[in-house]
Amino acid sequence: MSDTELLAERFEHNRDHLRAVAYRMLGSLTDAEDAVQEAWIRLSRVDADEIDNLGGWLTTVVGRVCLDMLRSRKTRGEQPLDVRPNDPAGSPDTRIDPEYEAELVDSVGLAMLVVLEKLTPAERLAFVLHDMFAVPFDDIAAMIGRTPDAARQLASRGRRRVQGSDPLTGTPLPQQREIVDAFLTAARGGDFEALVTVLDPDVVLRADTGHGPPVLVRGARNVASGAISFRTPGRQSLPVLIDGVVGMAGVEDGRVISVLRPTFADGRIATIDITADPERAAATELEFLD
């Protein structure tokens, strides 16, 4: 097998993942396929032997290509072409398998795409790559030319809008405070069932320590177990206001060492994004609540 054939085989191994990333970014199957093909063109122009993590490299390239396409749309006021399964557009060689198309479209849903279209290109990139594909904020920051903290804020804003919890239109601040207080009271008391009650059954927790990929925990019972097991003597968890949303801060010896940003849906916590790196947590702008 030639080097070109071997590289093509490695690329094909990543194609479905790249297409899934691009579709969530662009909302169009044909545009997603164009982005994936552009990634192949760029890969063919570099020395692949110099790439330590091909999957990560390709995801980064597709992310940048999609970001450029989204910015171009905004500039020209274009709307994405929403291609449905079995759409005859495209040649037989470039069309995606109809069964895979159906699975991909169903996995996102029209409602999600409508909400994603309301995000800025940078918000959409940060939210999709971090929340859906666990890409570290350091990598996302490099794509958009901003700091990791700025990328984190973009993802947070996108997340709130996707979850329907934008402070202006979603869960009111008093209700957010009630939910957070209930979570903190249950966590402090080790009340497992009370914690489960305040969490959405499909809650997703992401903990970014600043070292390696984020830790993902899914499901109310798993998140509740973690909240109880990680209680530490001498450490307080206090309610704070972060970016206009009620969240939590871990405080030890008078210093903020962690920040927890929740989103809310239907009176429960839907996601929790944790900054567990003490240095970044201490630099976060927040307001302690009485």
Point out which residues pair with 135 in neighbouring strands: none
Q: Can you tell me which residue has the tokens 């801060």?
A: 249
What is the predicted pLDDT for the residue at 29?
Answer: 85
* pLDDT tens by residue, 236-277: 899 998 877 899 999 998 899 999 988 888 889 988 888 888
* pLDDT tens by residue, 5-55: 888 999 999 999 999 899 888 888 889 999 999 999 999 999 888 898 999
At 141, the pLDDT band (50, 70, 90 cuts) reads: very high
Task: State how far the Cα of 194 lies from the Cα of 185, in Å rounded to an integer.
Answer: 9
Q: For residue 20, what are its two tokens?
A: 């899934």
What is the predicted pLDDT for the residue at 84?
Answer: 37
Residue 195's contacts (CB-CB under 8 Å, 6 or more residues apart) are: 183, 186, 187, 220, 223, 224, 227, 228
**What are the distances in angstroms from CA 8 to CA 4, 41, 52, 100, 163?**
6, 11, 17, 20, 38
What are the structural domains of the chain?
3-117 (no CATH), 173-288 (3.10.450.50)
What is the predicted pLDDT for the residue at 4?
Answer: 83
What is the predicted pLDDT for the residue at 60?
Answer: 93
Contact present, 270 and 160 (Cβ < 8 Å): no
Task: State how far the Cα of 75 lies from the Cα of 62, in Å rounded to an integer.
Answer: 20
